[in-house]
Chains A and B, each alone.
Chain A
Amino acid sequence: MGSSDATAAAVRPGEPLLRLAGVSKAFGGVQALSDISFELAAGEIHALAGENGAGKSTFVKLVAGVYPPDAGSVVLNGEEHARLTPKLARQAGIAVVHQEFNLLPELSVGENILLGALPRDRWKTVSAKRTQRTAAELLARLGSTIDPRRLVRELTVAQQQLVEIAKALAVDARIILLDEPSTVLSGDELDVLHAVLRRLRDDGRGLIYISHRLNEVFALADRVTVFKDGRHVSTCDTSELDHDELIRRMVGRPLVELFPQRHPSPGQPVLEVDNVSVPGKLFDVSFSLRQGEIVGLAGLGGSGRTTIARAIVGLERVAAGHISLDGAPAPRSPAACARAGLVMVPEDRKTHGILAEHSVAFNLSLPSLQRLLRHRFLSPRAEKVMADRLIKEFGIRPPTPGTDIRRLSGGNQQKVVLARWLAQSPKVVVLDEPTRGVDVGAKAEIYALVERLRETGVSVLLASSELPEILGTCDRVLVLHEGQLVAEMDRATATEEAIMRAATNSGSATVSAGASDDDARDSACR
């Protein structure tokens, strides 16, 4: 439990709770944050906006003491920290409410809230009564009446989030970072959350709020800071901005020469998705993909981008609608899909893409073993020949088939995963975030590979959270919002602003900023 009054008293009037000055952080060759300055005042809700990859998560981890900054300083309550640790950050009153909750589902609400500082009675055993009472008080301060005796797993997601916030109160956090707390909430739940956060603000705490819902930023935040490509773009009162201006600041960037020349020549439809629904995730989505076409899937986190990709290759149970490949119903298991030429390169390379314990050659040949058989036995020579050829063709470095794949950089690992499928001559390739965690040079190579796929007549569905990537590679863009297809744009008409507007459902100019999600959904174009 925190030393509540002491921390509060330490803050001199006018001094910000938190100040970052000239902070930089690089990972390997990738500059995640450069020369960031930021201030959080007591009694404000400060929104942090920016595209994926803008450096928001790194920022949160820096403030929480997870990463030490390479340069610059973090000043907490007037005290400068060159090397902030998670423990120091906690002691200084910083709490982070993550997108995924850190709750123990089998323990009670009260135990979760007070975990690590459970009140004990004189026998040194945990006092259930005091746990309950303290937890109930904390929850009441949030305006909640959740029974502290209930188990966390019985709660709704919204209630769990309140528990998570109550945890921050239990340690009397003065600075609370909320990383996309609203992605999992809807309508009324959102109102409750906002009320809670305003209460905390009026209490004199400082809140850093990260959200992709721009409406929310305007409704809730006092100030907004925009990051782009790891740099600070602007900080101003939300009243000084409107939607379009905010979006422009988030996406406006010089387009690097990252993308290859495109040569679209779409043929017949290959993949058709008809009124497909996945309970709770995807509602009545229809589109088609033609031969030699690259179609982008855009949308915020949780919009159903990945769900579509997974549904197409049979990883997601489709409740209604159907998917067909070349006019015939598509196979429903991932294995059968792969055999039919419908393959997926998943987002999470580490767990779904590569076998880290094995060599590059092993990983390359995985789906092509049939062709490496000589008299029913695998021929190491044939495998080496194929591996060498793919390594050369795809520019995989180091060019040694025997190296463990985990020693390769992320970009080269991804090239291995792509090469594996290209060797199979598939019909349709579904790519989910193909360049996540990949540096700029490797990105360009991966885009070139995607273009080459298309030139050989392969159809590509590319799900990505990075808009420049979608605009730079795709012939057509499908935009999803909360599991529904809300817009389809041609390459010629699509812009980052237009996609962002559809994805956040700020809609066309006719939908006002304050409209509820339901209204926006109804008016969305199909």
Chain B
Amino acid sequence: MSLTLERPVVGERRAETVSAVRRHGAVLFIYSLVVILLIAASAVSSDFRQPSNLIDVLRQSIVLGLVTIGQTYVLLAGGIDMSVGMTSRVVALGTAVAMSHTLIHPYVLILLGLIGGGLIGFLNGRLITGLGAAPFIVTLGMMGALAGTALAISGGGPTDAVPDFFLAAYDASMGPIPVAVLVMAVIWLVAWFVLSRTRFGRNIYAVGGSTAVARLAAIDVRRTQTSTYVIAGVLSAAAGLFLLARSGVGDPSLGGNLEFQSIVAAAIGGISLYGGRGSLVGSLGAVLLVSLSSNVMNMLHVSAYYQDLALGVIVLLGVAVYRPRRSM
């Protein structure tokens, strides 16, 4: 409705504050949950509050973190990427097979794996923007195609073991902190910085908010959207390679539930599934929350089945908390 209500100009500063709280409400909520969970679990379990366990939580958050960053970019630009999990699987299996069956230097293969992930994302982006097709369907189709590819690569069983140095990268640490955790922290920072402090980041928000507004503001909508899928593809590939380094062999079930988990993490982190709203700070909180709760559940010997159930319940609760506000 286009009714104009000249609001009384009372407490202009308050309006600004209200806006800020409303915009960051989801973020505040998620971090308070993280803190509550940290305190509660530390109080209950002495194993939990061991520094080594807390560092482990961080290390376990890396895979979901990488994929969620990519998913967040895509969602903010108004899309969705269902193929992130299968991208990581195909890249991991493909790299593992190449490492044991070719003489190409492993570093080159890792680079090729990342490029491959980017290409998958590029294909997603071009199909979506070029055909004007629904992102959900295109990436779902891609997910199916990649799942088949993964089976073809691996023949259904685990691949040969990967070189030792690759495993060593997983365990490398600087003092008590694993290098992987430090690198991940840098990735979060850079991803946040790009979103909030570059033109590209602004364009993502604008495109996700309204393609019409963005187009009139001289923003290349297609390129912006395609770029977000490329980013998601590269980060998914990185997640796949990290999983490979963790397990040492190419597990054909790797990356199975990542699309679900990443969308969940973004959603409970306050990223609007309609695009244009939310921040990576919220996504990070959600990723930490998911990793923490799965760590706690592991300690309580809750089976993996129930962990998925719990994640689903968190989503439903999250939906209830952030009911989409009705537009005026």
Contacts and interface: CB of A to CB of B under 8 A. Distances in A.
B90 to A, nearest CB: 34
Interface string A380-419: 1000000000000000011110111011111100000000
Contacts of A367: 217-218
A504 B197 CA distance: 52
18 contacts: A29-B4, A339-B218, A352-B212, A355-B213, A356-B209, A362-B202, A366-B217, A369-B199, A400-B16, A402-B16, A402-B20, A403-B16, A410-B2, A411-B4, A411-B6, A436-B2, A437-B4, A439-B4
Interface in A294-346: 313, 315, 334-339, 343-344, 346
B209 A357 contact: yes
Contact of B216 (A334, A441, A442): A334
Given A378-B199, A399-B12, A400-B15, A352 B5 contact: no
A460 to B, nearest CB: 16
Contacts of A355: 205-206, 209-210, 213, 276
A373 B199 contact: yes
B5 A404 contact: no
Given A353-B213, A378-B199, A335 B3 contact: no
Dominant SS among interface residues on chain A: mixed
A404 B4 contact: no
B277 A402 contact: no
Given A29-B6, A338-B216, A357-B23, 12 more contacts: A28-B4, A28-B6, A335-B215, A349-B2, A351-B210, A355-B205, A357-B272, A369-B203, A398-B12, A403-B12, A410-B2, A436-B2
B327 interface: yes
A362 B276 CA distance: 12
Interface string B222-253: 00000000000000000000000000000000
B144 to A, nearest CB: 28
A411 B9 CA distance: 14
Nearest to B221: A335
Contacts of A408: 7
Interface residues of B, number: 42
Nearest to B219: A335
Contacts of A366: 202, 206, 213, 217
A398 B6 contact: no
Interface in A424-461: 436-439, 441-442
Contacts of A211: none
Contacts, number: 134
A427 to B, nearest CB: 14
A369 B221 CA distance: 16
A398 B209 CA distance: 23
B32 to A, nearest CB: 22
B101 interface: no
Interface residues of A, number: 57
B6 A409 contact: yes
Contacts of B199: 369-370, 373, 378
B198 A377 contact: yes
Given A335-B215, A357-B276, A398-B9, A404 B3 contact: no
A356 to B, nearest CB: 7
Interface in B270-301: 272, 276-277
B220 interface: yes
Given A398-B12, A403-B15, A28 B3 contact: yes
B49 interface: no
B100 interface: no
A351 B276 CA distance: 13
A439 B215 contact: no
A344 B216 contact: yes
Interface string A100-130: 0000000000000000000000000000000
Contacts of B219: 335
Contact of A376 (B6, B196, B198): B198
Contacts of B218: 334-339, 367
A354 interface: yes
A335 B215 CA distance: 6
